[in-house]
Amino acid sequence: MKLVFATNNLNKLKEVQALVPNHIELLSLSDIGCNEDIPETQPTIEGNAIQKAEYIKNNYGYDCFADDTGLEVDALNGEPGVYSARYAGPQRNAEDNMNKLLSALQNKPNRKAQFKTVIALHLNGKLKSFTGICKGEITSEKHGEKGFGYDPIFKAEGYTQTFAEISLEEKNKIGHRGKAVSMLVNYLENLSE
């Protein structure tokens, strides 16, 4: 089975490839000649995932899946949420985003947060979605060199290290994207039985 993963984020592609069985061949956007930025104009994480999957299906004709992920912080009423990648501006800079978030949380005792990933699958003319959530908290400073995005300031429940300090394998086991991809893979496996 061939599926397009509608992302330009090579870190996400690497994470997801590690989770998908070999008999499912993942194609990147560059593999199908899609070099434009896919619109993400919906007010929700779910909406953006669906919009991206529909864009690829409608414009390129491929069965595909797309994801959208947001970091939802309790003390900030769920922000940055759908704006996580652009929290500090259109430049989508992870350092700027983390600095803005740490600054916004500066005197707030509640540091609870969750990462949420929604995957929208467009397959055989049907649309299905899968949601993975990882609860945790925002640290007061950055730790670790691994991962990407907000990983250096997010610590999952039950962990003393941030996502940027643990291995990719460990992150995939407990993380939001890993959970959503696992549901996607189970669904695809059940289809082929």
Q: What is the pLDDT of residues 41-83, one digit of tens each?
A: 999 999 999 999 999 999 999 999 999 999 999 999 999 999 9
Select which of 68, 74, 96, 151 is catalytic. 68
- pTM, rounded to two decimals: 0.91
pLDDT digits (tens, 9 = 90+) for 89-99: 998 899 999 99
Helix axes 176-191, 10-17, angle to 10 degrees: 50
Regions of the chain with pLDDT less than 50: none
Sketch the domain layout of the chain as residue ranges.
Answer: 2-191
Q: Could you tell me what percent of the chain has a pLDDT over 90?
A: 80
Would you call 151 a catalytic residue per the annotation?
Answer: no
pLDDT at 191: 83
Helix ranges (H only) for the chain are: 10-17, 45-60, 94-104, 168-174, 176-191
Q: State both tokens at 91.
A: 């430049």
3-state secondary structure of 73: strand
- Report the C-alpha gap between 163 and 17 in whole angstroms: 18
Q: Domain 2-191 belongs to what topology?
A: Maf protein (3.90.950)
